[in-house]
Amino acid sequence: MSLISTTAIRNRAGFKPTLWTFVLAFVLIAGAYYSFVRFTHGLGDVSALSDKVPWGLWVGFDVLCGVGLAAGGFTITAMVYIFNIERFHHITRPTVLTAYLGYILVSVALMYDIGRPYAIWHPLFMWNPHSVMFEVSLCVTVYTSVLTIEFLPVILERLRMHRAVAFLRRLIIPLVIVGVLLSTLHQSSLGTVFLIAPYKVHPLWYSPLLPIFFFVSAVFAGLATTVFESFMSYRFFRKQLDTEVLDALLRMAGLLLALYFALKLIDLKNKAAFSMLYQLNSTEVRMFLLEMALIVLPLALIMMPRVRGTRRGMFLISVLVILGFVLNRMNVSVTAFSAYHGVNYFPTFPEFMISAFMVGIGFVAFYFAVKHFAIFPEEEPFKQDYDDKLRAGMELPEIEKRPAL
Amino acid sequence: MRRGPEPLSDGKNNKKTFGLSPHAHHQTDPDDYMGLLIDTVRCTGCMACFMACKEVNELPNRNDEDLNKDTYTVVKKIGDAFVRRLCMHCVKPACESVCPVAALQKTALGPVIYDEDRCIGCRYCMMACPFGIPTYEWDSMTPRVEKCYMCYEKRVSQGKLTGCAQACAYGATIMGKRKDLIALARKRIQDNPDKYHPYIYGEHELGGTGTMYLSAVPFENIPFLPAFRDEPLPILTWNVLHRLPDIVVLAGVLMAGVTWIVNRRLERVREERGKTAHANEQESAQPQEPDAQEKTD
C-alpha cells in the first residue's frame, strides 16, 4: 500500500525523496514547532541566552552570517552594471535572488532574536544617529527594498507587465550604485558594532580595523556563496555549471582572502599579539588559529590551478571559505566575549533548529523561485542542441539575450 | 506599565542632542550630574540599601547574589569590605550611544533611564556596557531591560534622594552632584589617609561615572570595577560613524563616474563595430549607390 502511494507520488511529480528531503522535512517541522514555542513562551524557554550572554547563535549566525553571505548580491551587480563585465550576466539573477532571500531571512531571524519583535519597525522612526545598530537597521531595510526593486523585473516579466519591466530596467544603474553604497556601509558597520566593547572583546579580535575586516570578509564570503549556490543549483536543479565564471569568482575571492590575511597579520603586529598565539591551551587562541587556517587553506587551494580547475576543488574551496567566514562571525560575537562573561555559552537544540529552519526556508524559497521565474538561462539543453547543430553544419539558432536583471 | 518617564521631558532640558559626538556634548556640565558616592570603608553590609531598592522599585524579594531583573543592586563581600554593585550612570554611557531607538537616555539630571515603549529588545546595551549592568526579562513576552534607574521617576526627578541614599545610616551611600561628591570624597581621604586608598573610582574612568567609589584597598581587588582608561566608549564608534556621510558621497560619485566611463567606452566600441559592419555590407551590396555612401559617412 505505502509502496504504491510512494511510487504514485514519484511518478506524478518526478520527485525522488532523498536523504536531504528527509533532513529538510525534519528541519522544517522542528523549526515550526520551536518557532511556536519561541513566540508563545519567550526567549528564555528556547535559548541558552542569559544576562551574561545576551547574544548567541541567532545574532552570530542568522544575522551576522546571513548578511555577509548575501553580499554576493551587491558584488555581482556592481561587476555587471558598474564595471560592465559581460560574462557575469547570466549569474546575476540567481545571485540577486540569493541575496534577496538572504536579507528577507535575516529580517525574519531578527524577529526571533529581538525581545520585542512587534517593535521591529521602531528604528525607522525613533532615531539615534549615534548608534551603529540604528545605522545598520536603516541600511538593511533600505537595501532590502533596493533588492526588491532589482528583483521585481524578474517577477513582472513573468506576469507579462512589459512596460513596468522596461521602466524598472531604466532605474537599474542608480539602484545598483545605491545598493553598493548601502552594502558597503552596513557590511562594515556590523564590525563597527563591536568597537564599543574594547574591554570585553578578546584582544585577538578587537581591532580598529574591525569594520574593514567585516567588509572584506563579507565580499569574499559573498563570492564563495555564489559559487556554492551554483553547485547547489547544479546538483539539485540540474542547472548548467559555468566553471569559467566560477573560476573567475574564486580567483577574486582568493585576492580578497590574501588581502584579508595580510590585514590580519598587520593587525596582530600592531597589537603586539603574536606572542599570544603560543598559548595553545586557551580556547580563544585555538579558535583564532582555526579561523586563520580556514583563510589560509582555501587561499592555498585557490592558488593551485589543479585544485581550482576541478569541480570538486571549486566546491571544496567555496565550502571552506564559507566555514571560515561563519567561524569568524561566531568568534567575534560569542567566543571573543566568553572570557569577559565568564560563562561558556553553547546553543540549545531549539536555537540550532531555528537557525537551520532559516536556512531550510531559504532553500525551499529558492526552489520555488527557480521553478516559477526565469532565474537561470535556459542553456543546458539548448547548448547541447547548439553543439549538435554546429557539428551537423546546420544553421545556428539565434541566442536570445536576456537582460541580467 | 512603563519603567522610565517620558524621555526628553525632564522639564529642565527639553532639547536633547544625543550628545555623544566630541562636538555636541550633553548640555549639562558633567560635574552637575547627580550621582552616588559609595564609601566601602563606611559600609557595614546591613543591606538597608538593598531592601530600600526593592521597596521603591516594587521588586520581588529574592536574595540573589548578583544583579538580575528583580535586583538592581547587590552588596558583595570582597575581602573584609562590603561593596555595592549598581548601574554606574556614566557621564558618557555606552548603553545610551548604542541603543538604536534611544530607549536608554542620560537625563539632564544625571540618571540613565529607560523607555520600554521604544525598546526593541536587541540587547546591544547589555553587550556594550563595560560594567555588565543591564539585565533582561528572559521569560517575558514583552521583555524589558532592567537596571538601576537611580529612582528617577519616583524620587530624584521630584527632588528626593534615591531609596538607597535615603536608607543608608552610615554615610556609605550619598547622593549629590558629582562635583560635591568628589569634594566630599577628597575630604574623607584627606581626613583619614590611613583608612582610605587614595583614589576615587569613577572620577575619570571612561569619561567619569555617576556612581563613584571609595575603598580601603586598591581597586584591583574589586572585580566589577576594572581599570579603565579615561576615554569615553561612545567615541570609539562615533569616530567611524561620523565619517560615513563623506564616504557615501565620495564613493557614490566615484561609482557613478566609473559606470559612466565604462559604459561610454563600450558604447563607442559597439558604434565602431556597427559602423564598419554597416559599411562593409553597403559596399558589397551596392557600391555605386550614392545615398548609401552618404548614410555611412
Express each pLDDT in A78-116 by its tens digit.
999 999 998 899 899 999 999 999 999 999 999 999 999
Burial readout B69-80 (b: 16 or more C-beta within 10 A, e: otherwise)? bbbbbbbbeeee
List the grid coordinates of A254: 582568493
Q: How far apart are the first and last CA of chain A?
A: 48
Each as own residue / partner, the long-range contacts of residues A215-218 (CB below 8 Å, 24 or more positions apart, any chain) are A215/A184, A215/A187, A215/A188, A215/A191, A216/A256, A216/A259, A216/A260, A216/A263, A217/A68, A217/A260, A217/A325, A217/A328, A218/A67, A218/A68, A218/A71, A218/A183, A218/A187, A218/A190, A218/A325
> Contact A51/B68, CB-based, under 8 Å?
yes
pLDDT tens, position by position, A317-340 = 999 999 999 999 999 999 999 999
Per-residue DSSP letters for A203-241?
Answer: TTT--TTHHHHHHHHHHHHHHHHHHHHHHHHHHHH----
Instruction: State the Cα–Cα distance between residues A146 and A152, nearest whole angstrom.
Output: 10
Instruction: State the Cα–Cα distance between residues A82 and A318, nearest whole angstrom.
Output: 25
Name the residue among B100, B119, B140 with its Cβ closest to that of A133.
B100
**Where exactly are the structural domains of chain A?**
19-373
pTM: 0.88
> Contact B263/A192, CB-based, under 8 Å?
no
User: DSSP 3-state assignment of B173?
Assistant: strand
Report the percent of chain B where pLDDT is more than 90. Answer: 75
Per-residue confidence at A16, pLDDT binned at 50, 70, 90? confident
Return the half-sphere exposure (C-beta side, CA atoms, 13 A cut-off) of residue B21: 12
Q: Where are the alpha helices (DSSP H) in chain B?
A: 48-56, 94-98, 124-128, 163-167, 178-191, 234-241, 244-285, 290-296
For an interface test with B, the pick among A83, A126, A188, A332 (most B C-beta atoms closer than 10 Å) comes out as A126
In chain A, residues with a C-beta closer than 8 Å to the C-beta of B231 are: none
> Contact A54/B126, CB-based, under 8 Å?
yes
Interface confidence, given as ipTM, is 0.89
Spatial CA neighbour of A186 closest among A295, A74, A330, A54: A74
CATH number corresponding to A19-373: 1.20.1630.10
B97 with B238: CB under 8 angstroms? Answer: yes
Instruction: State the Cα–Cα distance between residues A99 and A136, nearest whole angstrom.
Output: 16
B200 with B212: CB under 8 angstroms? Answer: yes
> Contact B121/A55, CB-based, under 8 Å?
no
List the grid coordinates of A30: 522542528
pLDDT tens, position by position, B235-245 = 999 999 999 99
> Chain A residue with minimal CA distance to B116?
A116
In chain A, residues with a C-beta closer than 8 Å to the C-beta of B18 are: 128-130
In chain A, residues with a C-beta closer than 8 Å to the C-beta of B136 are: 51, 54, 115
A260 with A213: CB under 8 angstroms? Answer: yes
Instruction: State the Cα–Cα distance between residues B63 and B60, nearest whole angstrom.
Output: 9
Assess B255–A contact: CB distance below 8 Å, yes or no.
yes
Assess B8–A contact: CB distance below 8 Å, yes or no.
no
pLDDT tens, position by position, B262-291 = 989 988 988 888 877 777 766 665 555 444
Interacting residues of B60 by C-beta distance below 8 A, sequence separation 6+: B54, B70
* Positions of chain B with pLDDT lower than 70, given as ranges: 1-27, 63, 281-297
Indicate the residue type of B262.
V
CA of B89 vs chain A CAs: smallest distance (Å): 17
Name the residue among B120, B132, B252 with its Cβ closest to that of A114.
B120
> Contact B99/A128, CB-based, under 8 Å?
yes
Q: What's residue A142's pLDDT?
A: 97
Report the percent of chain A where pLDDT is more than 70. Answer: 90
User: DSSP 3-state assignment of A293?
Assistant: helix
B10 with B108: CB under 8 angstroms? Answer: yes
List the grid coordinates of B245: 556621510
